[in-house]
Structure 1
C-alpha cells in the first residue's frame, strides 16, 4: 500500500508516514519491541482471515498463537 494512502488514512502527510515507518524499524532493534510487533502482525493476519499466511509467518519466526 502506498505511503500516501496510509498517511491519508491518518490525516497526515506522506513524509510523516515515512518517518513513522523508519522510527518503528529502528525500534525493532529492541528484542522486546520486535517480539511485540511480531505477535501483533501474527494476530492481525489471523484476524483478517489470512490464517495460512499467519501460520507461514509463525513458522519463519518460531511464533505461534
Structure 2
C-alpha cells in the first residue's frame, strides 16, 4: 500500500511509524537471542566447555 502511493499522507506516516517500531522490536529480539546462544567448544587439552557465542566465533570449526 505504502509503495503504491494510494494512501493519504497521514495514513502513510502512520504505517511508516508502525514499520519502524516493528523493526526496532525485531532487532531487540535478535540481540536478546544472540546474548543467550552458547556453543560447546573443545580446548587444546580435549576438555569440552560452554562458551558464549559471538559473531567472531561463527567461523570456528565444529568439534
Of structures 1 and 2, the larger Rg is shown by: 2
**TM-score calculated relative to the size of structure 2:** 0.34
More helix by share: 1
Q: Does 1 or 2 have the higher relative contact order (CA < 8 Å, sep 6+)? A: 2
The structure whose residues are more often strand, as a share, is 2
The alignment's TM-score, normalised by the length of structure 1, stands at: 0.34
